[in-house]
Amino acid sequence: MYAISTAAEILGVTPSALEAALERGETIATLTEACGLDLDHMTESLVNAEVPDIEALAMIAGFDSDEIAQFGAEVRQYVTSFIHDGEQAANRRFDGPVLAAA
């Protein structure tokens, strides 16, 4: 996940330090706010770090444009949940298949 390295860079810490803080129960949102940084900028940066690769992989795998757009939207939702609620909460929210059956 590129979100950790991207968030760490924006926060000015190492990825290991960020992961340790997240394991202690911090969220990227609380850390961003504690550092006086813009949460919207953090969110967009992390989404932009993740979505293009997911969309490219979906295209290579042969998904159609509607499915790829849905993947992009779901990744955006996952990353936003990850930022605000933490990885475990985001994983629970998106556990299992998320694409609607065609």
Stretch 38-50: mean pLDDT, rounded? Answer: 95
The model's pTM is: 0.82
pLDDT band at 98 (very low <50, low <70, confident <90, very high): low
| Dist. CA 48–CA 44, nearest whole Å | 6
Mean pLDDT along residues 32-52:
95
Digit-coded pLDDT (tens) for 83-92: 999 988 888 8
Question: How much of the chain exceeds pLDDT 90, in percent?
Answer: 68
Mean pLDDT of the chain: 90
Question: Of the candidates 44, 36, 57, 60, which has an alpha carbon nearest to the alpha carbon of residue 3?
Answer: 44
